[in-house]
Amino acid sequence: MEPETLHTKWEVFLMNSNLATEESMSGTQLESFKNYLRRTVEQMHTKQQQQVYASSSSSFVTPKKAALKNRQQPSSRMNYDSVMDLDVDMASSDFPSPSSKLFALRKNVAETEESLNGSLATRPGPPVKSGTDHRNTVNLVVGVKPYRYMFEKITEKAEALDDRIDAFAAIFKKKYPDTDFYNPAYPSQALVTVIGRICSDANEGKSNERSLMLETSRMIGGGSRVRIDVSEVTSFSFFPGQVVVLTGINSSGSVFNVTAVHEIPALPMAAASPLELQEIHYRKLGGQPVKIVTAAGPYTLNDNLLFEPFAALMDHVNKERPDILLLMGPFVPSNHPAIQTGNIDMSPEAYFSKFISSKLAQHQEKYPKEMQILLVPSLQDVIHETIVMPQPGFEHQRALGLPLGTYCLPNPVQFTVNEMVFAVNTTDVLFHLSGDEVARNPQNTDRMGRLSKYLMQQRNLHPVYPGLATGPESAIDYNQFDLLDLRVCPDVLIVPSKLRQFAKTVDNVVVVNPHHLSKGQAGGMFAMMTIHPLPESELEDAAMMMDDEDEQSMTMHHFVFKRCRVDLKRV
């Protein structure tokens, strides 16, 4: 029996018996606890549910959402060493459900639903290794250290939002030096250029054209807010939180009439020297493609905690033998019915260790130093202490049973695999943008591509503020808001969403929505990426064009969008 399971049962026994947590266990109490465990096992096997209530005189109350409470504050430690030797076989109460049987009989297993660059080949089987170390190098672009949240002041939040507007003003003026920004709330009979953040006065319901407003920074416009009229603009697309540059007239002082919407300069693309790319692609990787499998939780069906979809994913991983396995939360979701009702027979961490870590460890033991595992948490993860963005990576890797060499990344995260830059946000930012967008005849008619492009245009992995569709599942600590900013335009952007899965190229960026590995009581989707090296002749030609002075300064784009195949598959 796992120590975490015993710990949970011991806490319940204490509550039911009105015992203090710091008390040691006497012989009589030990016998009572053993009898309690035996009764619990018998009830599990007969599929009976048991509610445990503390008496009104006790200072302990068994919460209906016990797991959620544990997520926010650690339970006090106690002396239960005397019961560690109990020889009790704790069976799981999660017997196969009707949906488990249907999942086992599912059709179209690992069938490809959609592909990007389908003409490119996939890499069959494992990579050919030339040494004992991993083939690929993974590095963080931006790290997130643990911090104290829920101490955010309104003034600090306003300052963070102001700084964002001022930063975009500097970016725009760097490209267009003759630009002068004016206060949009001041009356003017001449055309002026203004910059600010889109907001809405619609307290209820979706934002619309009539509810649009523009808020300036304190430095540029004194923090004023003015209604904007977009009736003269033939094409636009806005969302709350978007920083925009507009031209127009405010003749009355109450409404700014927009005549033009300007595009903010794009982020620079990631680049590297031809010699560096040649070294990575042909010396280190031997000219072989890099294979990446990525999936987003939930990893279990919503009527049990048996994690069958994750087991099915690992069967595919064992077959495909990828270089990188990128797993995105939630792993043990806080909104799972069993977690919400407290109908669990072990701690959430024990579920993770038993059903997820064990599968990962088995693969790593069978194929040592072949695959690197990357984990990105979610705000819905009950096993994570931080419930706002940005989230640090998972701590206590040993307690979670993770195999050595697992990378626990923050959320959102920017990281590199060799030369390639990846950006990931496990919060459903596409859904939030979709629910709050106001558009008329947008230039980009591909809605999913347009929503994805907002992240590159706004240089941020979650630019929505505040938005109707957002809520606790997208809470942000604005003292740390700059950690969500993109440092460079990524080669690959991965944004799991409940919206339909897709893989497409948006402004030379490969954007992937792998959907979720499970959908209610059915299996979902995952993505497999095969990224080929640049042609060696192309790299040699670029290297020959350099002289000694250019060797350190000359760079070329990675062109991942041309050499990356993405297959969206059923689990």
Residue 543 buriedness (CB in 10 A; 0-12 / 13-18 / 19+): middle
Among 246, 287, 239, CA closest to 454: 239
pLDDT at 21 over 50: no
- Do the Cβ atoms of 137 and 417 come closer than 8 Å? yes
Lowest mean pLDDT among 19-23, 82-86, 105-109, 470-474: 82-86
Among 237, 180, 227, CA closest to 199: 227
Residue 321 buriedness (CB in 10 A; 0-12 / 13-18 / 19+): middle
Token pair, residue 301, equals 């069906």
What is the rounded CA–CA span in Å between residue 10 and residue 18? 12
The predicted structure's pLDDT at residue 59: 34
The predicted structure's pLDDT at residue 144: 85
Among 452, 448, 443, 450, CA closest to 425: 452
- Between the alpha carbon of residue 351 and those of residues 89, 129, 295, 497, the distances in Å are 16, 34, 19, 24
Strands 255-262 and 225-229: parallel
Q: What is the DSSP letter of 280?
A: I
pLDDT tier for residue 73 given thresholds of 50, 70 and 90? very low
The predicted structure's pLDDT at residue 225: 94
Among 303, 279, 339, 273, CA closest to 548: 273
What is the rounded CA–CA span in Å between residue 4 and residue 396? 14
Among 435, 570, 430, CA closest to 497: 430
- Do the Cβ atoms of 18 and 58 come closer than 8 Å? yes
Dmax over CA atoms of the chain, in Å, equals 89
State phi, psi for 5 to the nearest 5 degrees: -65, -45
Task: State mean pLDDT over 401-427.
Answer: 96
pLDDT tier for residue 152 given thresholds of 50, 70 and 90? confident
Q: For 221-278, how does the pLDDT look when each residue is reduced to its tens digit (9 = 90+)?
A: 999 999 999 999 999 999 999 999 999 999 998 999 999 999 999 999 999 999 999 9
Indicate left, alpha or beta for 195 from its phi (over 0: left) and psi (-120 to 50: alpha): beta
Among 429, 418, 191, 218, CA closest to 323: 418
Domains in the chain, please, with CATH? Answer: 3-83 (no CATH), 103-121+267-570 (3.60.21.60), 154-262 (2.40.50.140)
Q: pLDDT higher for 559 or 443?
A: 559
3-state DSSP call for residue 423?
A: strand
> CB within 8 A of 113, min separation 6: which ones?
501, 525, 568, 569, 570
pLDDT at 176 over 60: yes
* DSSP notation for 148-179: --S---HHHHHHHHHHHHHHHHHHHHHHSTT-
pLDDT at 85 over 60: no
pTM score of the predicted model: 0.82
Query: What kind and span of H or E run contains 203?
Result: none
Q: What is the DSSP letter of 180?
A: -
Among 551, 23, 559, 534, CA closest to 287: 534
What is the rounded CA–CA span in Å between residue 458 and residue 218? 20
Assess whether the previous peptide bond of 98 is cis (omega < 30° from 0).
Answer: no
pLDDT at 65 over 50: no
pLDDT at 48 over 60: no
Q: How many CB atoms lie within 10 A of CB 89?
A: 8
3-state DSSP call for residue 384?
A: coil
What is the rounded CA–CA span in Å between residue 124 and residue 283? 21
Q: How many CB atoms lie within 10 A of CB 247?
A: 14
Residue 500 buriedness (CB in 10 A; 0-12 / 13-18 / 19+): exposed
The predicted structure's pLDDT at residue 181: 96
Among 136, 135, 202, CA closest to 466: 202
- Do the Cβ atoms of 234 and 208 come closer than 8 Å? no
What is the rounded CA–CA span in Å between residue 222 and residue 233? 26
- Between the alpha carbon of residue 176 and those of residues 193, 264, 315, 426, 527, the distances in Å are 12, 10, 54, 35, 41
pLDDT tier for residue 207 given thresholds of 50, 70 and 90? confident
On average, the pLDDT of the chain sits at 85
pLDDT tier for residue 91 given thresholds of 50, 70 and 90? very low
pLDDT tier for residue 550 given thresholds of 50, 70 and 90? low
Q: pLDDT higher for 73 or 172?
A: 172
The predicted structure's pLDDT at residue 471: 57
Share of the chain above pLDDT 90, in %: 64
